[in-house]
Amino acid sequence: MTRKTFTVAAAVLASAFAASAFAETPTIVTEPFVSTKSRAEVQAELAQYKRAGVNPWSTQYNPLRSFRSAVTREAVTAEYIASRDVVRALGSEDSGSTYLAQQRSGSYEYSTVAGQPRNAQ
């Protein structure tokens, strides 16, 4: 490639990249906003949150700060250990279908989910 050809190609590429980019205009909302609450109601709600010391829209909101469990740690641990095998079976490769097939009893009532049974009157 000659020097002149290279210079022309570089100039063409530079002009293509230097062209102005025009951004699209922003969407203009023409529907008027209608609030469901008055300004006084919103300010009263804000004052109530400030008095209570709780603002669920705050980045520092911690809903578990005042949580107290009704169940002891030992009871939760015992429940977890008792359900470990079931959880393992339901989370297995077959999504628990083998476990559920073994648990099925003869008194299970089937229901039609996608439509009505053919024999229904």
Widest distance between CA atoms in the chain: 90
Q: Do 55 and 61 form a contact (C-beta atoms < 8 A)?
A: yes
Q: Which residue has the tokens 């024999």?
A: 119
Most confident range (mean pLDDT) of 21-25, 36-40, 105-109 is 36-40
Residues in the chain: 121
Among 98, 79, 78, residue whose Cα is nearest residue 90: 98
d(CA 92, CA 100): 12
d(CA 37, CA 107): 55
pLDDT band for position 16 (cuts 50, 70, 90): low
d(CA 103, CA 86): 11
Average pLDDT value for residue range 37-51? 89
d(CA 83, CA 53): 39
Q: What is the mean pLDDT of the chain?
A: 79
Q: pLDDT digit string (tens) for 69-88?
A: 899 999 999 998 998 888 88
Token pair, residue 27, equals: 């969407």
pTM for the whole structure: 0.33
Would you state the pLDDT for residue 2?
77
pLDDT band for position 117 (cuts 50, 70, 90): low
